[in-house]
């Protein structure tokens, strides 16, 4: 154990919140590596992790269970499976942004799904993760709303995963421009990659991709893989598996078992990070505010 690692362990032990959070070694190692072994930044990331669980689950040592995310997992709006990897060995995290898929699903569920997926990333932190966003049918309602959504997509819901590549599939030029400008202001956000059609195969083998990305996994096969994974997680957590008919879920009244209360904490970049006026000015100079945004 070197001097920095010793300081980190001492910092965790001396912080009441971190000491109570019982954060596993994989997560500590992942966070330490993601900050370039910066002790103060690592402690800040770990505190953020512990505080999220304190605010959302009532205990910094509590963890999101498969029970919490079972229904959301079935929507396939945001999911990852341990057997789906990029060509360089990263865990693939899929996020579908099409308006017809989002429907009335409360966005708070995405935060729980993000955290649940983050546990898996930490377990395999040496490989890292890659987020794939399906934005082919993402609708631009207006500039302000689009900027709000894009900042939510930047990926800081999981602060420790700042080096996760974000791959946007079939994004419009306007969508790309928003990210280009935002990235200039939020320098520590993730790497943005834009791919169209078969270009995605440069990063991921077709056998690892659902059909909507041009891959070989059919919707039925994906449903079966997700169901099998959910069942395995119930068994691993020692819980009785109870099937859910996602078609019958009323998201306006749906509550996960255990009456978990959702925090109102937003997962977007803090408002102070993004200067919207400057972003709008930059987009205007690119000509995007003088015409209807391409959808």
pLDDT digits (tens, 9 = 90+) for 35-94: 889 999 899 889 988 998 998 888 999 999 999 899 989 988 888 898 999 999 888 989
C-alpha dist (Å) from residue 92 to 41, 165, 259: 26, 10, 30
Average pLDDT over residues 202-208: 97
Q: Going by DSSP bridges, is the β-strand pair 78-85/129-134 parallel, antiparallel, or unpaired?
A: unpaired
pLDDT in tens, 30-49: 888 878 899 998 998 899 88
- pLDDT for residue 43: 93
Task: Answer for the pair 252, 85: CB distance below 8 angstroms, yes or no.
Answer: no
More confident residue, 83 or 118: 83
Q: Which runs of consecutive H residues, i.e. helices, occur in 15-142?
A: 16-21, 25-34, 39-57, 66-75, 99-102, 108-123
pLDDT number for residue 264: 38
Local structure of 188: helix, strand or coil: coil
Q: What mean pLDDT comes out for the span 223-250?
A: 92
- What pTM was estimated for this model as a whole? 0.78
The answer to whether 29 and 38 are in contact (CB under 8 A) is no
Contacts of 187 (CB under 8 A, 6+ apart): none
CB-based contact 45:159 (threshold 8 Å): yes
pLDDT at 27 over 70: yes
* pLDDT per residue as tens digits for the range 151-198: 555 443 444 444 678 888 888 777 777 777 766 655 454 577 889 999
Q: How many helices and strands in the chain, by DSSP H and E?
A: 11, 5
User: H/E/C letters for each residue in 66-92?
Assistant: HHHHHHHHHHCCEEEEEEEECCCCCEE
């Amino acid at each position: 154990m070197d001097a920095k690692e010793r300081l980190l362990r001492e910092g965790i032990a001396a912080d009441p919140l971190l000491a109570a959070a019982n954060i596993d070694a994989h997560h500590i190692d992942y966070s330490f590596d993601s900050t370039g072994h910066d002790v103060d930044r690592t402690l800040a990331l770990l505190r953020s992790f512990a505080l999220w669980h304190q605010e959302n689950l009532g205990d910094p040592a509590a963890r999101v269970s498969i029970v919490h995310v079972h229904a959301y997992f079935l929507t396939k709006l945001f999911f990852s499976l341990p057997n789906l990897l990029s060509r360089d060995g990263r865990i693939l995290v899929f996020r579908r942004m099409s308006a017809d898929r989002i429907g009335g699903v409360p966005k708070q569920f995405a935060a729980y799904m993000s955290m649940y997926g983050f546990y898996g990333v930490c377990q395999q932190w040496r490989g890292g993760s890659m987020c794939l966003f399906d934005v082919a049918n993402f609708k631009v309602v207006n500039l302000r709303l689009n900027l709000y959504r894009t900042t939510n997509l930047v990926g800081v819901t999981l602060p420790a995963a700042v080096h996760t590549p974000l791959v946007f599939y079939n994004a419009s030029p306007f969508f790309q421009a928003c990210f280009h400008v935002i990235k200039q202001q939020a320098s520590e956000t993730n790497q943005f990659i834009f791919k169209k059609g078969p270009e995605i195969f440069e990063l991921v083998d077709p056998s690892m991709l659902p059909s909507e990305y041009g891959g070989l996994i059919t919707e039925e096969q994906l449903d079966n893989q997700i169901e099998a994974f959910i069942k395995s997680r119930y068994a691993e957590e020692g819980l009785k598996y109870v099937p859910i008919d996602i078609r019958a879920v009323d998201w306006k009244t749906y509550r996960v078992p255990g009456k978990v209360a959702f925090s109102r904490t937003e997962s977007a970049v803090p408002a102070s990070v993004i200067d919207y006026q400057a972003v709008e000015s930059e987009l205007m100079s690119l000509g995007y505010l003088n015409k209807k945004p391409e959808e």
